[in-house]
Structure 1
Amino acid sequence: MTRLDVPAFPGPLPPATPPAGTAVFQLPTGSYATRAALAFRGGRWRDRRDFAATAVLVRHPAGDLLIDAGFGAGAAQHVRTLPGYRRSPHRLGATARQQLDAAGYDLRGLLGVVLTHSHWDHVSGLDSLDVPVWTAPGERQHAERARDDRVFSLVTGGHEHREYAFDGPAHAGFDASHDVHGDGSVVLVPAAGHTPGSVVVFVTVASGRRFAFIGDLTWQLEGITRRAERPALVRALADSEPSGVRRDLARVIALADRVHLVPAHDQRAYDPIPRLTAGALAAVP
C-alpha cells in the first residue's frame, strides 16, 4: 500500500484566544453501513464499518454554530432520492434539532450551520433547523447543479444562505482562512477536492485543546494513521478533484500530533467530545 508523503508542518500553530465558554459537543444522528475496503486503501472487505452522521455544536459567547447537520427528520425519504449505489443500510437516531430541544438549548443563540460540504448526509438535518446555512464560495452552486444528490436543494429552499469569503491569511498549512469570531477559536479554511467548496473547520476551545473537523478528506481514522487515501475507483466516484483531497489530507496529517483530527464519518474520532445534554450545557460558563 502506498502511503501519502506528508511533509513536516513548519513552525508553531496559529494563535488562538478562545474566551471562557468556548466548547464543543457532539450530536450523533445515526449511521450507515459500508466496508473498510471502500473507505481507505488497504481496508478489508470483511471489515464492516458504521459511518457516523454527526453534527457538532460549537458554543461561543459571540454566537454558536453547528458544524454539519447530520440526518434529519426526513432522512428515510432523502435516502430514496439517491442513486441505488449510494443507498447503504441506515440507522436513524434523534435529529440534531431533537437533541438541541432535549438539552434545553435556545435556538436564538445559533448563528447557523457551517457545512463542511453539501452532500446529503451532512445536510439532511437542515430540514428541521430554521437557521442560516453557511457555505464556502461555489459550494451552493455545486450542490444545486448536482444530479445524483438533490437533498441540499430539498432541505434548504426556505433557508437564509450565507456565503463567506476566505479573507484571512494562511492558516495551519492551508492557503487562506476565515476567522469567524476574530479570536482564532473557529477558523474555516478551503479544502476543495471532495467537492469544490469543501472546508476544514479548526476549533480551539477554552481549555486550549484544538480540533480540526476535516469533513470527508478521509472517511475513517485509518486515512490518517495509515496515511491512506481512498481506493482509486472510489476516488473517481466520490471526489470532484482527487488531487486536492490528497494534498489537503497530507496537510492535516502533518498536524495530527498537535490537533485532534475528526473525519466526519468515524465515530471513534468524536470520543473526546462530550455529547450534548442539559447537564453538559449548563456546565459551560
Structure 2
Amino acid sequence: MSSLPKPAAWTHPLPVAHPPADLAIYHLPTGTYETRAALAVRGGSFRDKRHFAASAVLIRHPEGDLLIDAGFGAGVAAHVALLPRFVRAPYQVGRTVREQLDDAGYDRGRLLGVLLTHSHWDHTSGLDGLRGTPIWMNANERQYAATDPDGKVFRQVSQGREIHEYGFADQPYLGFDSSYDVHGDGSVVIVLAGGHTTGSVIVFVTLPAGPRYAFIGDLTWQIDGIRRRVERPWLLSKLADSDPGRLRQDLLRMIALDGLMRIVPAHDLGSYDDIPLLTREAAARSH
C-alpha cells in the first residue's frame, strides 16, 4: 500500500464564523450497503466487510434548513435495479428521510432544499419522498447529472422538480479557490471539489459552541482515506472518479485539516457517531 505524501498541517486561522445560537445538525440514517474494504481504499482487506452509510444530515438554521443528501428512498429497490449489475451490493433499508422528518413532527416547510454533495444514486434516491422541496446543485453537477450514465436515478427522481442552482462567487476557503456562504454568517459554506463528479462539493458547518464539521461526500468513501492518506483502489477510481488528479489534491487539502474539524465521508458510518438523531423534542425546537 502506498500512502499519499503527508501535507503540511493547516496553520492559518480558521475562517471567521458567526453561527446563530440555535443552529444544529442531525443525522438521518436511511440504510446501509455492504462493500469490502479492499474495494473502498487501497490496502483494504477483502475480509473486512464495511457497511457503507446511506444518510442525510439536517442543518437547522433560523433562516431556513437544509438537508445534505437524501439517502435511500421508498423506491430504492427500483433505483438499485437501474444500476449496472457489477456495482449492485446487498443493502439494508431503514426509514426514509421523509419518514424520519414526519415521525419527528418536523415542519418540512422549513426546508430551503436538499443540498446534494453530488448526484449519484445513493445520495439522491430519497428525493422521491421529498417532492416540493427544491434540489440545490451547482452548474457543474447539474450538467454532469443530466448526461452521465451514473445520473440515471437522479434523472428519474428529479423529473419536474425545482432546481436551485448556486454558484461560487465568494472568497477562497481553507485552501479551496472559491466558496458559497449560504447564510452569509460563515456557518454553512460550500466549496467545489469536482474530482469524484465534476460538481461534487464539500459542505463545512460551524456549530455555535465552536465544533466544525466537513461533510466531504465521496471525496473518500471511508475515513481511512484521511487517516491513512490512501486513495481508492486504482480500478475503482478509474470507474468512479471524473478527475482523479483533482480528487487527490482535494483529499490532501482535507488531510491537512484533520484534527481541526470533524471530517465526515458520506459512507463512513462511524463518522456520524457524535451527530444526534432527530427526535420530536429536537424538531419542536426548530419551530
Distance 1:207 1:11 in 2: 20
1:23 touches 1:284 (CA, 8 Å); kept in 2? no
Kindly report which structure 2 residues correspond to 1:246-265, keeping only aligned pairs within 5 A, or say none. 246-265=248-267
- How many percent identity over aligned positions? 59
Which stretch of the first structure deviates more once superposed, 64-73 or 132-141? 132-141
Distance 2:138 2:215 in 1: 15
Task: Report what 1:132 is aligned to.
Answer: 134
1:74 pairs with 2:75: yes
Task: Report what 1:198 is aligned to.
Answer: 200
Describe the superposition over 1:135-177 as per-residue Cα deviations: whole angstroms up to 9, x where unpaired. Answer: 1222111111122440000000121001101010010111100
Kindly report which structure 2 residues correspond to 1:160-175, keeping only aligned pairs within 5 A, or say none. 160-175=162-177
Q: CA deviation at 1:8?
A: 2.2
- For normalisation by structure 2, the TM-score amounts to 0.97
Kindly report which structure 2 residues correspond to 1:1-285, keeping only aligned pairs within 5 A, or say none. 1-5=1-5, 6-130=7-131, 131-282=133-284
Distance 1:106 1:239 in 2: 37
Q: CA deviation at 1:280?
A: 2.8
Q: Read off the aligned partner of 1:62 and give its amino acid letter.
A: E
Q: Read off the aligned partner of 1:91 and give its amino acid letter.
A: Q
Distance 1:63 1:126 in 2: 18
1:58 touches 1:66 (CA, 8 Å); kept in 2? yes
Q: Read off the aligned partner of 2:236 and give its amino acid letter.
A: V
Describe the superposition over 1:210-230 as per-residue Cα deviations: whole angstroms up to 9, x where unpaired. Answer: 000000011011111101111
Which stretch of the first structure deviates more once superposed, 39-48 or 142-151? 142-151
Q: Structure 2: where are the runs of 5+ without partners?
A: none
Q: CA deviation at 1:253?
A: 1.2
1:25 touches 1:58 (CA, 8 Å); kept in 2? yes
2:120 touches 2:150 (CA, 8 Å); kept in 1? no
Q: CA deviation at 1:9?
A: 1.6
Distance 1:280 1:207 in 2: 17
Q: CA deviation at 1:284?
A: 6.0
RMSD across aligned positions (CA) = 1.1
Three-state SS of the structure 1 residue aligned to 2:58 is strand
Aligned residue pair count? 285
Distance 1:158 1:277 in 2: 31
2:193 touches 2:250 (CA, 8 Å); kept in 1? yes
- For normalisation by structure 1, the TM-score amounts to 0.98
Q: Structure 1: where are the runs of 5+ without partners?
A: none
Q: Read off the aligned partner of 2:162 and give its amino acid letter.
A: E
Describe the superposition over 1:19-62 as per-residue Cα deviations: whole angstroms up to 9, x where unpaired. Answer: 01100000000010010001001100110011000000000000
Distance 2:177 2:91 in 1: 37
